[in-house]
Amino acid sequence: MKKLDVRGAKCPIPIVKAKKEIDQMQPGETLEVLSTDPGSMPDFRGWVQTSKIAILKEQRSEKDPGGQEVFVHVLERK
Amino acid sequence: MDEHVHDVSVASLLAKIDRGDPLLVLDVRNDEEFENWKIEGRRGVQFTHIPYFDFIEDEAAAMSKLPQQHGELIVVCAKGGSSAMVADLLRQSGVEAKNLDGGMVAYGEYLEPVRIPRAQSDPVGLEIWQINRRGKGCLSYVVACAGQAIVIDPSRNITVYEKLTDPAPLKIIAVLETHVHADHVSGGPELAARHHAAYVVSGGSEFDMKYSATALKDGNTLTLGDVQIRVLETPGHTPGSVCYLVADRYLISGDTLFTTSVGRPDLGGRTADWARSLFHTLRDKLSRLSPEVVVLPAHYAGASEIGANGIVSARLADLRHRLPEFSIDTEQAFIETMLRAVRTPPAAYADIIRTNLGSPAPDAAHITEWELGKNQCAAGTPH
């Protein structure tokens, strides 16, 4: 699985970068995006509703060792 | 090119809406955020909603959803980043567009001071400002006389209170709360400390208040030059809620009485008890004040409540006539009505109360998340 770390970045950066990655990937390949922006949760859900290239497989939030909340989005190339 | 040429401030956007300038707000947030909370002005706002990620996915398809004919185009998102990108894309395609600087966060924090028109009977030198936090519908007040000022229910961005002049800078001698707030983090402790002013919170003790704050009792009077401010204990929205009656004419009513409703008594888990208090506050205390009293609340629900003079206020006599809560005759019927109107509490209300009682505050970004959206302090419609 590919990884994209956009912790610290604000919207629109997480989706702009995720779209660029997905564009380069083969169908069936997956990408894990790490973000610290709480707004990324509804935004990724909204994006994949109309996206022709991305499917959202999973979303979760977890704490990193420093106690910072991290939002994880797992995407698959259509 | 100077990027600020393409930005518009919250103050300028609201002025355009209030004047009725032809404009279109392109809101690029996700569906959920757009449905929950939108820009509002004293006149209607024309919206188009196209999420920013639609522009990332397929720019041409997103562009084609824009109306062909529109006034000045202003793009809005949560914090101003995605809307700046969309405004940029639009300009590259030849569509003139501006970005709302700071987005909905800036909208939610913007404070607009409006001076309350003077009445002939006012004591010489009395000035009152209503500070309108338009994005949230929160109102705070500065009462001034003879160069001294008392600030009531300040928001946490305190510079607006410090900048008021009449005509010289005012000396802030006290900061008062009408109650412990559940919808916004108070700027009171910081403002009081910076100006070595007294900090007054009634009802803090019942919540285990950690700040050293004075509590006032019913009938206590504060003096500001020639102006007397009388404390009225008005339990209901919270057990410790008070109103401040300025110069026997202006009732700074906190969350006890609004211009279209009363304060909700259901945020403490003891709705019947608090509703009983509210019934007696309305009937036995506020109804006995002069009908000419001008009610100045801590919140409003919609921009239609802002009067032609820019102020949210109402004559007490009109509210007694207009609000159904005043015409319920018995304690039991009032309690039942309030119990039927119980609503889900706002998401972060418990965290906000804890912070306002003196627990360590999180960083500003966290508080911003807590405070997003409009206040929900009014009693609901019975269902």
Please write the tens of the pLDDT for every residue from B133-158: 999 999 999 999 999 999 999 999 99
CA distance B54 to chain A (A): 7
**Model pLDDT, residue B365:** 83
DSSP A2-61: EEEEETTPPTTHHHHHHHHHHHHSPTT-EEEEEE--TTHHHHHHHHHHH-SSEEEEEEEE
Q: Determine contact, residues B175/B197, Cβ cutoff 8 Å.
A: yes
- Cα–Cα distance list, A52 to A77, B52, B57 (Å): 9, 16, 8
Whether B33 has its CB under 8 Å from any CB of chain A: the answer is: yes
- Of the partner residues B53, B58, B85, the one whose CB lies closest to the CB of residue A43: B53
ipTM of the prediction: 0.95
Chain A interface includes B363 (CB < 8 A): no
**Distance of alpha carbon B44 from alpha carbon B61, whole angstroms:** 28
Q: Locate B376 and state its tokens.
A: 């929900």
Strand extents, DSSP E, B65-156: 72-76, 98-100, 112-115, 127-133, 138-145, 148-152
B206 confidence band (pLDDT: 50, 70, 90): low
**Mean pLDDT throughout B168-175?**
93
Q: Please say if the pLDDT value at position B195 is more than 60.
A: yes
Higher pLDDT, B214 or B14: B14
Say what the pLDDT of residue B210 is.
67
| Contact state of B369 with A38 under an 8 Å Cβ cutoff | yes
B53 touches chain A (CB under 8 A): yes
Phi, psi torsion values for B254, nearest 5 degrees: 55, -135
DSSP 8-state assignment for residue B3: G
The answer to pTM > 0.90 is yes
pLDDT for the residue numbered B2: 44
Question: For residue range B78-89, what is the model confidence (pLDDT) as tens digits?
Answer: 999 999 999 999
State the pairing for strand pair B7-8/B23-27. unpaired
Pairwise CA distance, residues B306 & B113, whole Å: 13
Q: What is the pLDDT of residue B212?
A: 66
CA atoms within 13 A on the CB side of B145: 17
Q: Average of pLDDT values for B241-263?
A: 97
pLDDT(B203) > 80: no
* B30 closest CB neighbour out of A13, A19, A42: A42
pLDDT of B205 reads 54
Catalytic residue annotation of A: 11
| A-B Cβ pairs (cutoff 8 Å, strict) | 50
Residues of A in contact with B57 (CB under 8 A): 19, 47, 50-52
Chain A residues in contact with B32 (beta carbon < 8 A): 42, 46
Determine the Cα–Cα distance for residues B151 and B129; give it in Å rounded to an integer.
10
Is residue B285 within 8 A of residue B242, CB to CB? The reply is no
The residue type of A34 is L
Cα(B286)–Cα(B289) distance, rounded to whole angstroms? 6
Active site residues of B: 77
Q: For position B258, what pLDDT does the model report?
A: 97
B1 pLDDT band, cuts 50/70/90, is: very low
Which residue in the set A10, A19, A42 is minimally distant from B56, CB to CB?
A19
Mutate to test the interface with A, among B57, B369, B371 (most CBs of A within 10 A): B57
Whether residue B323 contacts residue B261, with contact meaning beta carbons closer than 8 Å, is answered with: yes
Which tokens go with B57? 């996915």
> What is chain A's pLDDT, residue by residue, as a tens digit (78 residues)?
999 999 999 999 999 999 999 999 999 999 999 999 999 999 999 999 999 999 999 999 999 888 889 999 999 999
Q: What is the mean pLDDT of residues B5-25?
A: 96
Residue B100 near residue B107, CB atoms below 8 Å = yes
